[in-house]
């Protein structure tokens, strides 16, 4: 009989972001190994006070933890989040259950643990862990300095959907596909395209853009899209504009790569690892002048060459078959 896994975290469609989509797909793959129960965490946009959400979460744990062999949960990079996770993990550990697997989805771990209290709680968590899943070997080195005994595994992200579409350049039509949060760079993109009358920006996402932000006629704001409709948008644009301020291993980049759509993007998180250090369309996050320069530079780039490069790199390092093999190896613990 399969062992029982308890997952706690964000899951699509209850929350819409890269991590929630990732979690949904991972649990689908792990169903062959585990009987899975999910406790769905409310998204960051929900209006629940921290204390109430903390108590609700703990009550869910107290009710259900005695049934399970393995807890699978993400490590947040906020003080409130990691404090809650520590309390949850402490209870799980005291009940003498077999294993906890933590997953770090964000690229700002090093900055997060510069604060002493965060570092203290994070180090405590590492001693509860059977394994910790990270985005990159640099994160593994950080964790090993805190706890040399913990097992740390690198898991590259992947594109989970395939609709057999390919990049079909639409001249001077650019795509923004992310939630409408300031930190995702939506205002940066709008301000740049407000000055580019000969180019259009089509945006898809959740959230609201501040009323004071001027939006010219060459910029189209839409609600979020999913599935095949999203990949049609990737294929029918000139390039993806990705001006985020902080990322881990973004699905949007991988999805665009998988069909060969060029990406003009900020060099944050592990995006340089994904696209390669010599990729020609990087700019510094929050730098609107550089973003504008890269858009102008893109007109003179060999788009077919870039497209082929992205597809080949995706298939070599990030294909779904590679991801599934690594994931199954990580969770093969019983």
In tens, the pLDDT along 61-103 reads: 555 556 788 999 999 999 999 998 998 888 777 665 568 999 9
Q: Is residue 166 part of a domain?
A: no
130/95: higher pLDDT? 130
Q: Is residue 310 part of a domain?
A: yes
pLDDT at 284: 97
Based on the domain organization, do 104 and 178 belong to the same domain?
Answer: no
Whether the pLDDT of residue 6 is over 80: the answer is yes
CATH code, domain carrying 178:
3.40.50.2000
pLDDT at 45: 44
Q: Is residue 168 part of a domain?
A: no
pLDDT at 243: 98
Angstrom distance (rounded) from CA 125 to CA 61: 17
Confidence of residue 159 (pLDDT cuts 50, 70, 90): very high
Q: Is residue 278 part of a domain?
A: yes
Q: Is residue 163 part of a domain?
A: no
Confidence of residue 43 (pLDDT cuts 50, 70, 90): low
Whether the pLDDT of residue 46 is over 80: the answer is no
Range of the domain at 324: 3-158+319-330
Residues 6+ apart with CB under 8 A from 274: 249, 253, 254, 257, 318
pLDDT at 132: 98
Mean pLDDT of the chain: 91
Q: Is residue 165 part of a domain?
A: no
pLDDT at 98: 66
Based on the domain organization, do 120 and 267 belong to the same domain?
Answer: no
Task: Tell me if 100 sits within 8 A of 65, measured CB to CB.
Answer: no
Mean of the pLDDT values across residues 240-269? 96
Based on the domain organization, do 134 and 201 belong to the same domain?
Answer: no
Q: Is residue 291 part of a domain?
A: yes
Q: Which of 181, 289, 189 is nearest to 239 (CA)?
A: 189
Torsion of the alpha carbons at 184, 186, 191 and 192, rounded to the nearest 10: 70
Based on the domain organization, do 254 and 312 belong to the same domain?
Answer: yes
Based on the domain organization, do 136 and 204 belong to the same domain?
Answer: no
Angstrom distance (rounded) from CA 45 to CA 210: 16
Based on the domain organization, do 28 and 136 belong to the same domain?
Answer: yes
Based on the domain organization, do 204 and 323 belong to the same domain?
Answer: no
Based on the domain organization, do 94 and 182 belong to the same domain?
Answer: no
Q: Is residue 167 part of a domain?
A: no
Based on the domain organization, do 303 and 325 belong to the same domain?
Answer: no
Residues 6+ apart with CB under 8 A from 311: 257, 258, 259, 260
pLDDT at 51: 52
Whether the pLDDT of residue 220 is over 70: the answer is yes
Domain count, the chain: 2
- Token pair, residue 93, equals 């550990």
pLDDT at 59: 52
């Amino acid at each position: 009989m399969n062992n029982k896994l308890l997952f706690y975290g964000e899951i699509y469609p209850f929350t819409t972001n890269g991590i929630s989509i990732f979690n949904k797909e991972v649990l689908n793959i792990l169903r062959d190994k585990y009987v899975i129960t999910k406790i769905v965490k409310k998204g960051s946009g929900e209006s629940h006070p921290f204390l109430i959400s903390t108590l609700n979460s703990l009550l869910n744990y107290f009710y259900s933890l005695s049934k399970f062999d393995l807890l699978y949960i993400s490590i947040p990079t906020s003080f409130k989040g990691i404090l809650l996770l520590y309390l949850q993990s402490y209870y799980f550990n005291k009940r003498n259950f077999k294993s906890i697997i933590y997953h770090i989805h964000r690229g700002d771990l090093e900055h997060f643990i510069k604060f002493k209290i965060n570092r203290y709680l994070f180090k405590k968590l590492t001693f509860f862990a059977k394994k910790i899943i990270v985005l990159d070997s640099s994160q593994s080195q950080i964790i090993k300095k805190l706890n040399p005994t913990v097992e740390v595994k690198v898991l590259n992200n992947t594109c989970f959907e395939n609709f057999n579409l390919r990049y079909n350049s639409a001249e001077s039509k650019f795509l923004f596909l992310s939630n409408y949060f300031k930190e995702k760079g939506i205002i940066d993109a709008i301000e740049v395209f407000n000055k580019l009358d000969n180019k259009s920006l089509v945006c898809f996402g959740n959230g609201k853009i501040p009323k004071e932000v001027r939006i010219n006629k060459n910029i189209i704001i839409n609600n979020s899209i999913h599935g095949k409709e999203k990949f049609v948008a990737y294929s029918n644009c000139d390039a993806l504009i990705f001006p985020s301020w902080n990322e881990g291993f973004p699905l949007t980049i991988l999805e665009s790569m998988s069909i060969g759509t060029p990406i003009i993007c900020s060099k944050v998180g592990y995006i340089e690892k994904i696209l390669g250090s010599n990729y020609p369309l990087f700019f510094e996050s929050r730098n609107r002048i550089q973003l504008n320069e890269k858009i102008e530079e893109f007109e003179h780039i060999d788009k077919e060459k870039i497209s082929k490069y992205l597809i080949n790199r995706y298939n070599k390092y990030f294909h779904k078959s590679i991801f599934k093999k690594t994931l199954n190896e990580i969770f093969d613990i019983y």
